[in-house]
Structure 1
Amino acid sequence: MDISELPGFYAIAAADPGRSAVVDADGAVTTYGELLARANQVSHGLRAHGLVKGDVVAGVLPNGIDAVAMLLAIGQIGLYYVPVNWHLTAAEIAYILGDCDARVVVHGDTADGALAGTVKDACAAAGIAAEATFAGCAGLAEGMPAGPPPDRSSGSVMWYTSGTTGFPKGVQRPLPASPPERSVPGTRFFVGEVCDLRPGDEVHLVTSPMYHSAPCAHTQIALHLGHTVVIAPRFDPVVILELIERHRVTNAMMVPTMFHRMLRLPDEVKKRYDLSSLRQVVHTGAACPLAVKKAIMDWWGPVLYEYYGSTESAIAFAVKPREWLARPGTVGRPAPSFEVRVLDEHGDELPPGEPGMIYLSSSLGAFQYRKDPARTAASRRGEWYAPGDIGYLDQDGYLFLCDRRTDLIISGGVNIYPAEVEAALLEHPAVADVAVIGVPDQEWGQKAVALVQPAPGTPTGPELTAELLAHCEPRIARFKHPRVIEYRDELPRTPTGKLSRSRVRDAYLDGR
């Protein structure tokens, strides 16, 4: 069936219900028709619980069919959906649930039952009643009709992202008044221009948790294009190669850390798998070392598409494989609807080749940080938004990044905010002061290093390090724990008491 004229998932599922939609991590196959029926039932279930346009639903869901069904259900009944990282602690989840005013929480579980207990504690701390908490989609879908809900209108995902304070804020956009089909042509045009993705019998591989914006967005895009979505059970280089060969995967989204791990495989393993089906492998989330990107394209062919943006700006710059090979290191030119300016500290525009603060503007519509108008205003210069990066444009308008203005650490494509880690460590009585910095790491891009000034009389060494890491366990997610803890007699602070992370970082790197 030619699906190129059908406006997205809901229409494709109605016209071709037997089409394969999702191959779950356990190998179970869900058709477009079955997925539409489940999404419709969940939509009816949410409305039966009194949710109306503009309300918020949170999902603490590992990758799987429930996570996909929630996206599609909320996408047609005018709600906001907040995907929550299921590796967070109960306190961290509770903060997000309370800040977003979640009316309903849907969660999955882990084999040991730990996630359900964590979510239960988080909901109790956030004041969310037990009857508004559901283990998976089944409780919402049970007994509900499988037909489309009335008065359909587009919903939206509201991503939570942290700033320099480490406290996450929701990136919220106005909800359209139109049904989801209205926006599909624009989405198809955009991803066609940026990534050469088209409607048809293609196969998309999900390699990362869908609580991150890019993997989640690409899953939705794939279904609106009529593709089959294959969900990897975990990221393991050999597992990924096996899935690509078995399902003849044509497109995927990855982060540079994954490429690095792939390249570490023995040559005989690399040669074992047929990857000739790959046409687009999109990467984002962190800078990719030039040598790594070239080595992957030597192996897979010119299939790496890169884009640069943020949760706030979405895809702002993009570069295709052959463009990048002609200009190694660029993150591309502005994507459709985007304009860019590079300004100095006075707000004056800089000429090509001169690094400055990057500002973006787009016709896609403005965002706001939920409940934080001051932070919203601080991120803008009029209609221009600053992602917080420093870079320069070449003569042809290609952007090259230099550094981040903030102290954000990007490790394996995941954001780590030093202030949050420092706050956790400072709760320990043995810590007088601490600075957390990001330092270069060959595999992860960056790793978090904690430089601790111990309290007077505190002995340092492996025992204290183990004690500090154990102290972090209930306070912050494991991926935020420092990879290295070192001890210092004193940390540099300004006369006003502000920690100079740049001085700490420079001294650390000089010492290495």
Structure 2
Amino acid sequence: MTPCAQEFSRDSRWKYCCKKGACPQCGQGVEQRQRYCGAGGKSLSVRVENSEIQSQAHRFARALDDAGVGRRASVAVLLPNVPEFVYCLRGATWSGRTFTPVNWHLSADDIAYVVGNCEPSALVIHADFSEQAEALAANVSPNARFAVGGTIPGFRSFDEVATFSGDDLDKPLAGTLMLYTSGTTGKPKGVKTDVPDDGPPPCLASRMGSAMLSAYLPDDTEGIHLVVAPLYHAGPSTYSEGAALLGSDVIIMEQWDPEEFLRIVESERVTSTFMVPTHFVRLLQLPEETRSKYDTRSLKLVTHGAAPVSPDVKRRMIEWLGPVLFEFYGGTEGGGVSIDSHTWLAHPGSVGRPRPGLVIHILDEAGQPLPAGEAGDVYFANDGGRFEYKDDPEKTASAYRGDLYTLGDIGYLDDEGFLYLRDRKADTIITGGVNVYPAQIESVLLEHPSVRDCCVVGLLDEEWGERVLAVIEPHDQNASQDPIREALKALCLKRLGSQQRPREYVFATSLPRTETGKLPHRKVRDVYRARALENHGA
């Protein structure tokens, strides 16, 4: 590829610019697949043409065949938002393999756990994570290790994939995804669905993504799909793949920048995207003169989910962009509740009604059904197969009541069958669409000699959904709090992923552990949420 003459020092990962044609910074003609910079070099993106996704996927599938990776084997990727992610997803799931994307925001220990637990026969890692690569690939054949974005000792360059044919596969076979989701016990859990049959691709998740988009996009829409969130999440990967299956080109933002998002929407005439509420808040925080100077009328569908959204924030987004917001509620395990903008305005706060074939049950603690308007555990019954959490039969059993399953939420149905969510049944915190496990954070904080006990909870946050709060019971109640707080920040910076680190630290004289040693997180959380509301109103 021809490098752009313009230098960008923000991130060495991105050495090139631009979309097809000439670079907007230096004017030099470049190849269509090269990265390009946004206004002022804020955020870098890449546009991947639809035909390229399919041909590169075929090449990757053949590279796996050549490396001896079986047709029902597992393929794990540790990749940022780069085109190779899209190629690997399509290539693995069109050749009968199981595709597992790894959340690179996790701690090093959790990344190692996920890679080991999914038992990959092939591993694709970006050079940014080269320090972990050797240990992660210990059980993977050198022929099935691929390095993206640079050199990793013991890995083949992903560029070698280009030597294989991009023609249609002789015997395409639908694979599946195994994504890792939350649990209050600490370690991420792999969600295993029924083993796919011997049918043709695409896989079930990809089909669902394309079905959702086709149902809510106007028939005459020529699609350009924009990825703004990490592709290792189910939503961004499912909807980008679904859009590509409908013929869309895909533009991938390497990292989120609100004004750059608006610039890309206007310049590329983007028609669809998947977002989380944090994106909405950041966009609304832009000055009015900034928002108003960009033309967003090409947007026909903004799908959002993964975290609760403030009704006020959602209403303002609809007023700005028009009735293009489409919300869904579900999880890797299943579900399928959704609501469009017009319906939401008539039922503000609802996450919608279930798709055909899915039935919602609201049950009390004894498993008995509750009437409309009364909150209880949200359970689903569907026409699909059962799931299981890999290597965790106890957690699998806890998710089911007979054939009904739950995602661990509390909510209620109104008289028209619309679902309203009240709370998470488990202690898991959802911040920016990411599940955070209090037990993991607490175990790190308790290692510090100044900490006698601690409790980690989520405070309501308009931007992030929830923000992580650490309540600390120090050994010495007379000790200065500031040095302890700074020491804990340093410890968490070293030991925890960015989304796990507490945003706030408060100190308490004692924490209400029960006689059996259990810590009632909800009780602690409610106290500090009430205090936050009082302070906000003061």
CA distance in 1, matches of 2:104, 2:518: 33
Where does 1:241-252 land on structure 2 (aligned, <5 Å)? 241-252=262-273
In structure 2, the gaps of 5 or more residues are: 1-30, 37-43, 149-156, 533-538
In structure 1, the gaps of 5 or more residues are: 1-19
2:109 aligned with 1:97: no
User: 1:27 and 1:240, CA in 2 relative to 1: closer, same or farther beyond 3 A?
Assistant: closer
CA distance in 1, matches of 2:207, 2:60: 26
1:118 pairs, out of 118, 121, 132, with: 132
Q: Is the 8 A contact 1:281 1:305 kept in 2?
A: yes
Q: What is residue 244 of structure 2 aligned with on the other side?
A: 223
Instruction: Find the residue that maps to 1:281 and give its secondary structure.
Output: strand
Q: What is residue 41 of structure 1 aligned with on the other side?
A: 59
The letter of the residue matching 2:123 is V
2:490 aligned with 1:470: yes
Supply the RMSD in Å over aligned alpha carbons. 2.4
Q: Is the 8 A contact 1:232 1:243 kept in 2?
A: no
Q: Is the 8 A contact 2:50 2:249 kept in 1?
A: no
Q: How far apart are residue 44 of structure 1 and its match?
A: 1.1
CA distance in 2, matches of 1:21, 1:344: 56
CA distance in 2, matches of 1:185, 1:48: 25
Q: What is residue 135 of structure 1 aligned with on the other side?
A: 147
Q: How far apart are residue 181 of structure 1 and its match?
A: 4.9
CA distance in 1, matches of 2:187, 2:45: 37
Q: How far apart are residue 82 of structure 1 and its match?
A: 0.8
User: 1:22 and 1:289, CA in 2 relative to 1: closer, same or farther beyond 3 A?
Assistant: farther
The letter of the residue matching 2:201 is P
CA distance in 1, matches of 2:499, 2:531: 26
2:324 aligned with 1:303: yes
User: 1:335 and 1:217, CA in 2 relative to 1: closer, same or farther beyond 3 A?
Assistant: same
Instruction: Find the residue that maps to 1:479 and give its secondary structure.
Output: coil
Q: What is residue 305 of structure 2 aligned with on the other side?
A: 284
Q: How far apart are residue 202 of structure 1 and its match?
A: 0.9
CA distance in 2, matches of 1:457, 1:354: 43
1:506 pairs, out of 519, 523, 526, with: 526
Instruction: Find the residue that maps to 2:407 and give its secondary structure.
Output: coil
Q: What is residue 186 of structure 2 aligned with on the other side?
A: 166
User: 1:302 and 1:461, CA in 2 relative to 1: closer, same or farther beyond 3 A?
Assistant: same
Q: Is the 8 A contact 2:223 2:271 kept in 1?
A: yes
Q: What is residue 167 of structure 2 aligned with on the other side?
A: 147
CA distance in 2, matches of 1:366, 1:24: 41
Q: Is the 8 A contact 1:331 1:399 kept in 2?
A: yes
CA distance in 2, matches of 1:28, 1:255: 21
Q: Is the 8 A contact 1:93 1:119 kept in 2?
A: no
2:383 aligned with 1:351: no
1:411 pairs, out of 419, 431, 435, with: 431
Q: How far apart are residue 91 of structure 1 and its match?
A: 1.6
Q: What is residue 27 of structure 2 aligned with on the other side?
A: none
Q: What is residue 55 of structure 1 aligned with on the other side?
A: 73
Where does 1:290-329 land on structure 2 (aligned, <5 Å)? 290-314=311-335, 316-329=336-349
CA distance in 1, matches of 2:477, 2:219: 65
Instruction: Find the residue that maps to 1:216 and give its secondary structure.
Output: helix
Q: Is the 8 A contact 1:191 1:197 kept in 2?
A: no
User: 1:227 and 1:197, CA in 2 relative to 1: closer, same or farther beyond 3 A?
Assistant: farther
Tell me how many residue pairs correspond in the alignment.
Answer: 486
Q: What is residue 413 of structure 2 aligned with on the other side?
A: 393
Q: What is residue 15 of structure 1 aligned with on the other side?
A: none
Q: TM-score w.r.t. structure 2 length? A: 0.85
Q: Is the 8 A contact 2:278 2:464 kept in 1?
A: yes
Q: Is the 8 A contact 2:344 2:350 kept in 1?
A: yes
Q: Is the 8 A contact 1:23 1:230 kept in 2?
A: no
Instruction: Find the residue that maps to 1:171 and give its secondary structure.
Output: strand
2:450 aligned with 1:436: no
2:295 aligned with 1:274: yes
Q: What is residue 69 of structure 1 aligned with on the other side?
A: 87
CA distance in 2, matches of 1:73, 1:460: 56
Q: TM-score w.r.t. structure 1 length? A: 0.89
Q: How far apart are residue 160 of structure 1 and its match?
A: 0.5
CA distance in 2, matches of 1:353, 1:457: 45
The letter of the residue matching 2:501 is H
The letter of the residue matching 2:251 is V
Q: How far apart are residue 150 of structure 1 and its match?
A: 3.5
User: 1:145 and 1:347, CA in 2 relative to 1: closer, same or farther beyond 3 A?
Assistant: same
User: 1:192 and 1:245, CA in 2 relative to 1: closer, same or farther beyond 3 A?
Assistant: closer
Q: How far apart are residue 194 of structure 1 and its match?
A: 5.6
* Stretch deviating more after TM superposition (229-238 or 20-29): 20-29
Instruction: Find the residue that maps to 2:278 and give its secondary structure.
Output: helix
Q: How far apart are residue 446 of structure 1 and its match?
A: 1.0
* Stretch deviating more after TM superposition (60-69 or 187-196): 187-196
Instruction: Find the residue that maps to 2:163 and give its secondary structure.
Output: coil
User: 1:23 and 1:308, CA in 2 relative to 1: closer, same or farther beyond 3 A?
Assistant: farther
The letter of the residue matching 1:264 is Q
CA distance in 2, matches of 1:456, 1:61: 44
2:470 aligned with 1:481: no
Could you report, residue by residue, the CA deviation over 1:99-131 in whole angstroms, capped at 9, with x for unpaired residues?
Answer: 111222101134xxxx2213334445xx54655
Could you report, residue by residue, the CA deviation over 1:354-387 in whole angstroms, capped at 9, with x for unpaired residues?
Answer: 1111111222322111112221121001111111
2:276 aligned with 1:255: yes
Q: Is the 8 A contact 2:184 2:437 kept in 1?
A: yes
Q: Which has the higher contact order (CA 8 A, sep 6+)?
A: 1
Instruction: Find the residue that maps to 2:499 and give its secondary structure.
Output: helix
The letter of the residue matching 1:53 is R
